[in-house]
Amino acid sequence: MEYRSLGKSGLQVSALSLGSWLTFGKQITDEVAGQLMEIAYEAGVNFFDNAEIYANGQSEVVMGNLLKEKNWDRSSYIVSSKLFFGSSQAKPNQKGLSRKHIMEGCHAALKRLQLDYVDLLFCHRPDKNTPIEETVWAMNHLIAQGKVLYWGTSEWSASELMEAYLVAEKYHLIGPTMEQPQYNMLVRDKMEKEYLHLFKHYGLGTSIWSPLASGLLSGKYNQRMPTDTRMNTDGLEWLKERTLQEQWIEKTCRLTELAAKTGVSMPVFALAWCLKNPNVSTVILGASKTAQLQENLQAIEAVKQLTEQVLEEVEQILQNKPEQ
Ligand code: NDP
């Protein structure tokens, strides 16, 4: 496994990590969740990603039980949670980024995870109803209490992040260490354009999500619609509509041919491409089956297959490189 610094922080995070969205507590059994964590940890993965909203809290319950059962040294792994959405039944103060929800949401996540602290706590989305100042102070409060080690954001704009840095500077507080944006061959703007000055001037770290565009970039939707996948799950019709776009499938078909020529499978090719970006601190993998995770972990080795020439051929197919 390769380890990267989480931005300018001293934290070393495995270049590949494991997330639990839609899988833990939902699509897969707890037994499979345990096997995924075991495979990941054995391969050197040290970061497990979670959020209060995943499976309405159940994803944290499952991960907490598994961490307890596995009894790994607490200092050997990193766990995150994310606050903002609350639960599907959330009342007004049970969501958002107010001091109240940040404090109460963090305590509830720690209880579900059966942990004394989370290493990373993300603001899952920006909250237009709360001054950023209040959020930055609340996060610093949790850090001072030892309940959170580093705080960050997810899908914030560069200007919202800037505002957080300015507040932190003004009051001598700790600003965001990391952001969690979507990043894959099909969605590139934040990582390759919008955040560039934040990487350079603030040392922002990143844990990127949906590196396979929810499975599309595995190539399995190229010719047919397989069953038993995320895209067939009841309630996820919105995701299917957003993801299975004709032009994206066409590009994936051509990328699949290029991947084969390069000697790696399509999912491994797409993940290795994400790893090539030095501003990516960690690529969060998702898997519903152990075989998928075993395959995806090969991405570290595959990075060297992505020569300048291969990358150029990728650009020819994608035609979506953000202008800087
Ligand atoms: P991916 O885009 O990699 O999608 C993962 C899914 O793709 C798997 O669950 C599986 O779904 C399919 N898949 C994975 N590997 C293979 C393979 N080798 N062959 C075929 N199919 C494969 O990542 P996620 O969308 O799951 O995101 C990763 C993590 O990022 C999440 O778990 C979460 O922790 C985080 N996240 C954060 C968000 C945020 O707002 N901050 C939003 C979304 C995710 P299936 O078998 O069902 O088809």
- Give residue 215 CA to ligand 1 midpoint distance, Å: 6
Span of 62-71, 100-109, 232-241, 283-292 with lowest mean pLDDT: 232-241
Ligand 1 binding pocket mutation candidate from 292, 295, 298 (most atoms within 8 A of CB): 292
Looking from the CA of residue 27, the nearest atom of ligand 1 is 47
Calculate mean pLDDT across residues 180-202.
Answer: 98
pLDDT value at residue 1: 98
Q: Give the C-alpha separation, 281 to 277, whole Å.
A: 9
Residue of the nearest CA to atom 3 in ligand 1?
A: 212
Q: What is the CATH number of the domain that holds 47?
A: 3.20.20.100
Ligand 1 atom at shortest distance from the alpha carbon of 220:
20
Query: Residue 101: what residue type?
Result: H
Q: Is residue 323 part of a domain?
A: no
Residue list, ligand 1 pocket, CB within 6 Å: 19-21, 23, 49, 154-155, 180, 209-215, 218, 220, 229-230, 267, 284-288, 292, 295-296
How confident is the model at residue 85, as a pLDDT? 98
Asked whether residue 235 is domain-assigned, the answer is no
Q: Is residue 308 part of a domain?
A: no
Distance 211 CA to ligand 1 centre (A): 7
The alpha carbon of 88 and the centre of ligand 1 are apart by a number of angstroms equal to: 21
The total of structural domains in the chain comes to 1
Strands 205-208 vs 47-49: parallel, antiparallel or unpaired: unpaired
Dist. CA 87–CA 94, nearest whole Å: 8
Q: In angstroms, rounded to a whole number, what is the distance separating the alpha carbons of residues 169 and 166?
A: 5
Which atom, in ligand 1's list, is nearest to the CA of 216? 7
Q: Residue 217 Cα, ligand 1 centroid: separation in angstroms?
A: 10
| Average predicted confidence (pLDDT) for the chain | 97
Separation in Å, CA 134 to CA 99, 149, 165, 198: 6, 18, 13, 21
Q: Is residue 31 part of a domain?
A: yes
Residue for token pair 């979506």: 320
What angle do the packed helices 308-318 and 246-262 form, to 10 degrees? 160
pLDDT at 151 over 90: yes
Task: Assess if residue 244 is contained within a domain.
Answer: no
Q: What is the mean pLDDT of residues 275-292?
A: 98
Predicted local confidence at residue 279, as pLDDT: 98
> Cα 255 to the chain's mean position, in Å?
23
Spatial neighbors of 64 by CB under 8 A, at least 6 apart, are 112, 113, 114, 115
Alpha carbon distance 310, 139 (integer Å): 43
Q: Which mutation among 59, 84, 209, 269 tests ligand 1's pocket best, with the greatest number of atoms within 8 A of CB?
A: 209
Residue 236 lies in a domain: no
Q: Are 79 and 118 in contact (CB under 8 A)?
A: yes
Residue nearest to atom 12 of ligand 1 (CA): 215
Task: Report CA(227)–ligand 1 centroid distance (Å).
Answer: 16
Report yes or no on 292 lying in a domain. yes
Residues designated catalytic: 54
310 belongs to a structural domain: no
Nearest CA to ligand 1 atom 25: 210
Residues 99-123 pLDDT 10s: 999 999 999 999 999 999 999 999 9
Look-up: residue for tokens 């200092």? Answer: 75
Distance 210 CA to ligand 1 centre (A): 5
**Helix, strand, coil percentages, rounded to 5, for the chain:** 50, 15, 35
With a cut of 90, say whether residue 170 has pLDDT above it.
yes
Range of the domain at 184: 3-218+267-301
Structure-block tokens of residue 180: 């969690």
Under the banding of pLDDT at 50, 70 and 90, the label for residue 324 is: confident
Average pLDDT over residues 54-82: 98
Residues making up the chain, counted from first to last: 324
